[in-house]
């Protein structure tokens, strides 16, 4: 990726230096975060998993002290540059459709942090909270992505950010609210199926972003798209279940299989169109 000279988004809140919610009591390593993240994808409570991994007790959550200044390091600068590219691309896409793109906030944190959706934990991996229109990322996930999931590279990290921004786009378009309402009235099996379609659409939107951003200003290097595809495949439900359970249970999928996640990212990238990402009106995912 070629982002060194790109502008940095101002919509990033850095809570990594804050006390209280930024700390999690006992030390939690990358391996524990990765294991708990897998548990989160499968529907388990990551707080419970982390309690077992760290010897018992709940993660400490106290009043968070404000941070005086953000940490200006290369990982945060990279995040700001990627977020800026998502702002530019989605801004152009929304304008073309006669609408104004409302930019999300991206929050960097360590361990745990308060959100409008409750306490967010690093064990959950990067996530989006529709109630405050914010993406939350503990940058330790990038190390887990490289070492535990076998998906190294800057564009793999950019794909993760773009996927979460894809959930923000779903929120702006009203898709998230409609699906949440349907899930509340559905059986567990059907609710999981709806979640899969939501996640695959966010993967597709990540592909749309990559295509649009590249057309606006070339920034991709050879091999970048392959990095994103490896990352999408690495966190497919089937692969994670095989690694942790030893068997695959499709009815419990919440994010989609490796093949599906790769396929929908490619659909978004090859078409560069939001309309191509309608995962809710297709039989074949």
Give the pLDDT confidence score for residue 42 in this predicted structure. Answer: 40
- What are the residue boundaries of the structural domains of the chain, listed by start? 70-277
- Closest Cα partner for 108 from 65, 72, 155, 54? 72
Cβ(6)–Cβ(85) below 8 Å: yes
Task: Tell me the backbone φ, ψ of residue 268, rounded to 5 degrees.
Answer: -65, -40
Give pLDDT tens digits for 80-133. Answer: 999 999 999 999 999 999 999 999 999 999 999 999 999 999 888 899 999 999
- Nearest of 169, 94, 98, 90 to residue 130 by alpha carbon: 169
Mean pLDDT of 33-42: 44
Report the share of the chain in percent with pLDDT over 90. 58
Residue 237's CB: how many other CB atoms inside 10 A?
A: 25
Residues 62-79 have pLDDT tens digits of 344 444 456 788 999 999
């Amino acid at each position: 990726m070629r982002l060194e000279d790109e502008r940095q988004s101002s919509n990033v809140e850095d809570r990594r230096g804050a006390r209280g919610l930024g700390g999690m009591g006992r030390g939690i390593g990358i391996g524990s975060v990765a294991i708990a993240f897998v548990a989160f994808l499968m529907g388990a409570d990551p707080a419970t998993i982390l309690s077992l991994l760290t010897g018992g007790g709940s993660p400490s959550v106290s009043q968070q002290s404000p941070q005086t200044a953000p940490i200006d390091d290369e990982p945060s600068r990279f995040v700001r540059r990627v977020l800026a590219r998502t702002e530019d691309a989605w801004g152009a896409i929304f304008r073309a459709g006669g609408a104004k793109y409302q930019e999300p906030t991206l929050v960097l944190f360590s361990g745990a942090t308060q959100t409008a959706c409750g306490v967010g934990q690093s064990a959950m991996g990067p996530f989006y909270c529709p109630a405050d229109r914010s993406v939350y990322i503990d940058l330790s996930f990038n190390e887990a992505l490289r070492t535990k999931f076998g998906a190294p590279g800057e564009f793999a990290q950019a794909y993760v950010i773009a996927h979460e921004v894809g959930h923000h786009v779903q929120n702006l378009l009203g898709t998230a609210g409609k699906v949440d309402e349907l899930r509340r009235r559905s059986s567990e099996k059907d609710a999981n199926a709806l979640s899969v379609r939501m996640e695959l659409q966010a993967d597709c939107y990540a592909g749309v972003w990559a295509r649009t951003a590249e057309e606006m200003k070339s920034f991709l290097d050879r091999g970048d798209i392959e990095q994103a595809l490896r990352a999408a495949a690495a966190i497919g439900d089937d692969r994670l279940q095989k690694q942790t359970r030893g068997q695959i249970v499709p009815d419990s999928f919440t994010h989609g299989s490796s093949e599906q996640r790769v396929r929908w990212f490619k659909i978004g990238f090859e078409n560069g169109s939001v309309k191509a990402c309608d995962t809710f009106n297709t039989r074949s995912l």
